[in-house]
Structure 1
Amino acid sequence: MRRSVRSLAAVAAVAALGLAACTGGTSSSSSSDAEQTYGPGALPTVTEGKLTVATSDPAYSPWILNNDPASGEGYESAVIYALAEELGYSADNVQWVRATFESSITPGAKDWDLNIQQFSITEERKNAVDFTSPYYTTSEAIIAKAGTPAANATSIADLKDVLIGVQAGTTSQQFASETLEPGLSQKLQMFNSSDDTVLALQTGRVDAIVVDLPTAFNMIATQVDNGVVVGQFADAQDGENYGIVLPKGSKLTPTVSAAVDSLAESGKLAELQEKWLNEAQNVPILK
């Protein structure tokens, strides 16, 4: 049976208070926080009565369609509006701003309450920002141009002589470096941005590129001429969790994370994934 955000937040708050009592520390949430009434003006947001959400510019499909987060179209946009409703905010009380990926996960003051742009949850990033529970778990995938040797790969071993490109500083780069590079005869090629990585594939500087699976579908639909998703990697299927980012120590974190849990428990996240990300079910796994 579905639990309410309030009851989920209360459980989190009680657990946090118990831990603080055992360690002599303090907690950023309290039972009174958990029992509050949600909705505009009730939560300590950057702008009173509004939920300010950051995303990238541009933002890409299938995460956000047509670079318009306010449309509610695309998985991440839809998740935010479902989350806002769970917290008692109408669509009119959600306002969007733009923020770069790197600036969003560095320490310091922020001008937003939440930030969603495919942030993988890592221990290192938790030192600088807060994360909610995961709203999506994905795998890494590889893209190539149809008709090339790379496009015919059916295993990781088949990629041994394939020159692979990846965006620097991403979890895709980390995955490729740790999982693929030891078996490659050539070094991975690093690029500064997603657009640079795609351009390298388009112009033949690399034979294939590694990105997360939903992004792979978007790239072959909108950016890579004659592109194909060669396959996904089994090693990443259970470990690539995306979470919504909040400023470090945000008083909103327990409440927002509980709301994400509620959306997962009710089946709403699965419903939105089926609507916006369902292509991911038919991609072969490379082992």
Structure 2
Amino acid sequence: MKKLLTSLCVLSLVLAGCSQNANEDVESDRETLRVGMECNYAPFNWTDAEANDTNVPLSSGGYCDGYDVAIAKRIAESLDMNLEVVKMEWDSLTKSINSNMIDLIIAGMTDTPKRREAIDFTDPYYESDMTIIVRSDSQYANATSLEDFSGATIAGQMGTLYDTVIDQIPNVNHATAMENYPLLVQALLSGVVDGVTAETPVGQGNVAANGDALTLVEFEDGKGFDVDLTDTSVSIGIAKNSELFEDVQNALASITQEERDQMMKDAASRQPANEE
């Protein structure tokens, strides 16, 4: 009887091992979808030090999480591909697509005519409004229009619409653009600038992460930035004439608006208080 039990145990271990190996073989046979993002633009994407149920490992160390990661997971799943998130600087994203270092850009990037000269874009996967983050104790905390920011020093992220739209503010002191939002928020908190432009979820996330120190100025129609010049929707970037384009577009279309809203809500609720 003891020999029979031993044999059954050995057989179970062998079968389990075979099953595990089979699963590993299936995963290894699948192609990898390489998705580029900053991992420094919460709640769209950020870096974690430790693994959890929602983030993915980075080859450079650490983990990446956020709304963009959730979207990337769904796209990879629909394409039956393994997901690899590649962390890189904002200015390197388009170059990396064209040098075949990554397959997609899912990084809160807006489709613009200039960018379309280099890459293609899918339909938008998220849309929001343009806001300004200010210190809660500043004279701009109760602003309701762009005119209220006349004379203010405002900064935006380098190489984005959030920098170029600043000139819509009358008599603005357009501060030098910065590489990422942690630097922008640091400049705001230290008093180097009076405000930082941001789309709604990014603004809300940074306000929530800094307690009562910051507040978000949102504008009514006609009192904020010109929507004809400011498109705050974001799309997936992909190489021109890519064979993946139609499949990615279809995969994106399969994610309902309700699912997208919930994914953003979940990402905003778990983003870290301080990005790395």
TM over 0.5: yes
What SS is found at the alignment partner of 1:197?
helix
Structure 1: distance between partners of 2:235 and 2:118: 14
Of 154, 173, 185, which residue of structure 2 is paired with 1:198?
185
User: Counterpart in 2 of 1:271?
Assistant: 262
Task: Write out aligned runs for 1:110-189 (5 A).
Answer: 110-177=100-167, 179-180=168-169, 183-184=170-171, 186-189=172-175
Q: Cα gap change, 1:79/1:124 in structure 2, threshold over 3 Å: closer, same or farther?
A: same
With over 3 angstroms needed to count, the CA separation of the structure-2 counterparts of 1:271 and 1:199, relative to structure 1, is closer
d(CA) in 1 for partners of 2:183 and 2:267? Answer: 26
Out of 11, 29, 36, the position equivalent to 1:54 is: 36
What is the CA-CA distance between 1:248 and the residue it aligns to? 2.6
Deviations 1:89-110 (A, max 9, x none): 4xxx212222221121247312
* Match of residue 228 from structure 1: 215
How far 1:191 moved relative to its partner?
2.4
The TM-score normalised by the length of structure 2 is: 0.71
Rg larger in structure: 2
1:162, distance to aligned residue in structure 2 (A): 2.1
Aligned residues: 223
What is the RMSD computed on CA atoms of the aligned residues?
Answer: 2.8
Q: CA deviation at 1:73?
A: 4.7
1:85-104 superposed matches below 5 A: 85-89=77-81, 93-104=82-93
Indicate if the aligned counterparts of 2:152 and 2:173 stay in contact, CA closer than 8 A: no
* Cα distance between partner residues in 2 of 1:205 and 1:168: 16
C-alpha distance in 2 between matches for 1:121 and 1:138: 14
How much has 1:72 moved relative to structure 2? 8.2
CA distance in 1, matches of 2:46, 2:131: 21
1:129-188 deviation digits (Å, cap 9, x = unpaired): 1211110012211011112111121222211232212223211112222x32xx12x431
Q: Counterpart in 2 of 1:257?
A: 249
Q: Show structure 1 runs of 4+ deviating over 6 A.
A: none
Unaligned runs of 5+ residues in structure 2 are 1-28, 57-62, 270-276
Matched to 1:199, the amino acid is Q
Aligned match of 1:241 in 228, 233, 246?
A: 233
Q: Which amino acid in the other structure matches residue 188 of structure 1? A: H
1:36-88 alpha-carbon deviations (Å, 9 max, x no partner):
xxxxxxxxxxx9522222221x4343123544741785211111112222223
> How far, CA to CA, are the matches of 1:80 and 1:63 in structure 2?
11
TM-score (norm 1): 0.68
**CA contact 2:153–2:193 (8 Å) conserved in 1:** yes
Distance in structure 2 (CA, Å) of the matches to 1:111 and 1:75: 22
1:198–1:224 contact (8 Å) kept in structure 2: no
The alpha carbon displacement at 1:263 in A equals 1.6
Cα displacement (A) at 1:227: 0.8
Higher helix share: 1
- Flag structure 1 segments of 5+ consecutive residues without an equivalent: 1-46, 279-287
Specify whether residues 72 and 145 from structure 1 end up closer, same or farther in structure 2 by C-alpha distance, changes over 3 A only. Answer: closer
Residues 1:84 and 2:66 aligned together: no
Within 2, Cα distance between the matches of 1:213 and 1:174? 17
Check whether the contact 2:47–2:64 (CA below 8 A) recurs between aligned residues.
no
One-letter amino acid of the counterpart of residue 229, structure 1: L
CA spacing shift, 1:49–1:257, aligned 2, 3 Å: same
Q: CA deviation at 1:246?
A: 1.5
Cα distance in structure 2, aligned partners of 1:257 and 1:52: 16
Match of 1:64 among 38, 42, 45: 45
Give me the whole-angstrom Cα distance separating, in 2, the residues matched to 1:234 and 1:204: 23
